[in-house]
Structure 1
Amino acid sequence: MFEIKTYPDFSWSLSRHKTLMHCARQYAHQYYTSHNGWLRDASESSKQAYRLKNLTNLEMFFGSVVHDLIEEVIDHYLNTGILLNENELTEQVRTRLNKGFIDSTRRYRSWLERPKKTTMFHELYYGQTSKLPVEKVEKIKHRLHTTVHHFLTSKTMQELAFNEHIEFLEAEKFRILEVGKLKVFVVLDLLYKDHHHNKWIIVDWKTGKKSDEDPYQLALYVLYLLQEYNIPDLNHIIIRNEYLLEGEAVEHQLDEVTLEKVQELIGTSVEWMTSYLSDPSQNKPLPIERFEQTSNTRACQYCNFYELCYS
């Protein structure tokens, strides 16, 4: 049963850690000020923060559209054996992108009332015009054709299509990893088992460029897999990044040292997060003034919560 709480439950994720590293004030708005902002009787500050939390930008929206479509395509293929062609998939992505643009330019009132159900682009909300930047639009057009083509020709899709020993296990589900008494959230894009080689394969679809944080995310996936499926040997786990821009599949096998390092990172990060709490037992934050703003003010213009700091 859903319970309304004054303060949110505490949990850890890599995205939460990265937000705090970027700006403590942004972290406060993302995880505390916006809490309960979806309720009708919430304070105006919580409602505003919740709306801003749900802003997206063109690159992020494109990535989420592609991820959603990939999940649907794989599910449909596994159930029917039918795979849409490149033109059909490209058109579906384009249709969803256009809907996001229509939401952002014509459904402002709907976004105010239901920000999680209505798309609003950061570029349009904070922009001076009702048009998206031309250079961004051109970049997304290029990514659209490239990512769809590389998805259909990816190593993962080839295995799903032609390897009869594959067992699909799960995809795009929020999972909770227990690290001590701490809840750590992970989302696996795709997980399946190759029974012929006795391998569990985790696939992470990437619509952007390679990142230095990728190995940390992969280690979290492995920790989840070890805990959930009781796999005795790390050598039975393959983690694959499918970089759809480059059309490159990069596989990793992590060792115990790497897993220990990511657990140390979680511990250190939690201590840092806890230092911003006045009552850790309730996850009650300190006053907003105690969450310092980033010194990199150039980055502020790209933050969802810009108007809370500079209005």
Structure 2
Amino acid sequence: MFEVKPYPELSWSLSRHKTMLTCLRKYAYDYYVSHNGWLKNADSLARQTYRLKKMTNLEMHFGSVVHDLIYQIIQRVIRNQKVPSQEEVIDEIRHHLNRGFVESIKKEHLWNNRPKHYTMLHEIYYSQSNQLPDSKVEKINVRLNAAVENFFKSKTYIEVSKQDEMEFIDSESFRHMKADDVKIFVVMDLVYKDLQNNRWVIVDWKTGKKSEEDRHQLALYALYLKQKYNIQSIEDIIIRNEYLVEGTHVEYQLTEQDLINVQHLYQISMEEMKKYLADEKKNEPLPIHEFPMQEKPHICARCNYQELCFS
């Protein structure tokens, strides 16, 4: 039975770590102030913060839609069902993007009450305009066509199509491992075992640019997989980023040192997170003023919590 608790459970993820490094005030809003904000009897600040947390922007919305459709296509391949054409996939993505735009300009009242079930675009909410910037729309159109075409040409899709040679584990579901009784959450796009070469393959689809953090993210996934399936050698795991807009992929052969590095990152990060707790056992945070705001205007301009910080 679901139990309402005054504070969330302390957990760790790479996205949580990145938020803490970007802005501690945003970190507080994301992981503490918004807690229980979905409840009807929550206080007004929690409800407002939770609502703003669920806001997205055009690039993130595009990435989410593409990931969802890729997941559906992969499932159809695995089940020997008909796969939609590139044109059909492009049309479906456009449909979801257009629906998100319409919800943002015409259904704000519904989003206010049920922010998890409706889309609100940052570009619409804070501009108080019924138009998206032309430059962003043009950029998404270019990304859309490239991403779909490159997905069907990708090394991963070609491998997945050879079902007899692959054993699929699972995809797009929350998983966690534990360290020092703290849950470490990982979300893997696709995992399968190449039976011919007797190796595991972890794939992460990217609709944005390459980042130095991509390797750390996949190393964390590999650590999870190694522990869960008792894989003896890290050399049996291949991690791959598929950069859909660029039409390229990057594979890494990890070493034990990579796993040590990601564990070290977690330990340092958790020590820093605990500095902002009034009660570590309850995961009770310090007062909000103890979480300083960052001072880079370009970061604030993209943040969901502008109306809280600059009311």
Q: One-letter code of the match for 1:275?
A: K
Q: Secondary structure at the match of 1:117?
A: coil
Summarize the alignment of residues 152-171 of structure 1 with structure 2, pairs less than 5 Å apart.
152-162=152-162, 164-171=164-171
Summarize the alignment of residues 45-124 of structure 1 with structure 2, pairs less than 5 Å apart.
45-124=45-124
Superposed CA deviations along residues 123-181 of structure 1, whole A, max 9, x for unmatched, are 00001411011000000000110000000111011111135211111100100022232
What is the aligned residue count? 311
Contact 1:222 1:237 in 2 (8 A): yes
Q: One-letter code of the match for 1:54?
A: K
- Give aligned-pair identity as a percent: 51
Q: Secondary structure at the match of 1:302?
A: coil
Task: Measure, in 1, the Cα distance between the counterparts of 2:290 and 2:177.
Answer: 30
How far does residue 84 in structure 1 lie from its aligned partner after superposition? Answer: 1.2
Counterpart in the other structure of 2:249? 249
1:227 aligns with 2:227: yes
Counterpart in the other structure of 1:181? 181
How far does residue 302 in structure 1 lie from its aligned partner after superposition? Answer: 1.0
Task: Measure, in 1, the Cα distance between the counterparts of 2:194 and 2:4.
Answer: 43
Structure 1 unpaired stretches of 5+:
none
Task: Measure, in 1, the Cα distance between the counterparts of 2:128 and 2:168.
Answer: 47
1:146 aligns with 2:146: yes
Task: Measure, in 1, the Cα distance between the counterparts of 2:155 and 2:81.
Answer: 18
Task: Measure, in 1, the Cα distance between the counterparts of 2:278 and 2:180.
Answer: 22
Superposed CA deviations along residues 283-307 of structure 1, whole A, max 9, x for unmatched, are 0000000000002133212110111
Q: Secondary structure at the match of 1:80?
A: coil
Task: Measure, in 2, the Cα distance between the counterparts of 1:287 and 1:81.
Answer: 53
Contact 2:78 2:163 in 1 (8 A): no
Contact 1:193 1:199 in 2 (8 A): yes
Summarize the alignment of residues 224-303 of structure 1 with structure 2, pairs less than 5 Å apart.
224-303=224-303
TM-score, structure 2 as length reference: 0.98
Structure 2 unpaired stretches of 5+:
none
Q: Secondary structure at the match of 2:223?
A: helix
Contact 1:73 1:83 in 2 (8 A): yes
Q: Secondary structure at the match of 2:70?
A: helix
Q: Secondary structure at the match of 1:235?
A: helix
Contact 1:147 1:244 in 2 (8 A): yes
1:203 aligns with 2:185: no
Output the aligned Cα RMSD: 0.9
Contact 1:177 1:223 in 2 (8 A): no
Counterpart in the other structure of 1:2? 2
Counterpart in the other structure of 1:192? 192
Higher mean alpha-carbon deviation, 76-85 vs 110-119, is at: 76-85
Q: One-letter code of the match for 1:12?
A: W
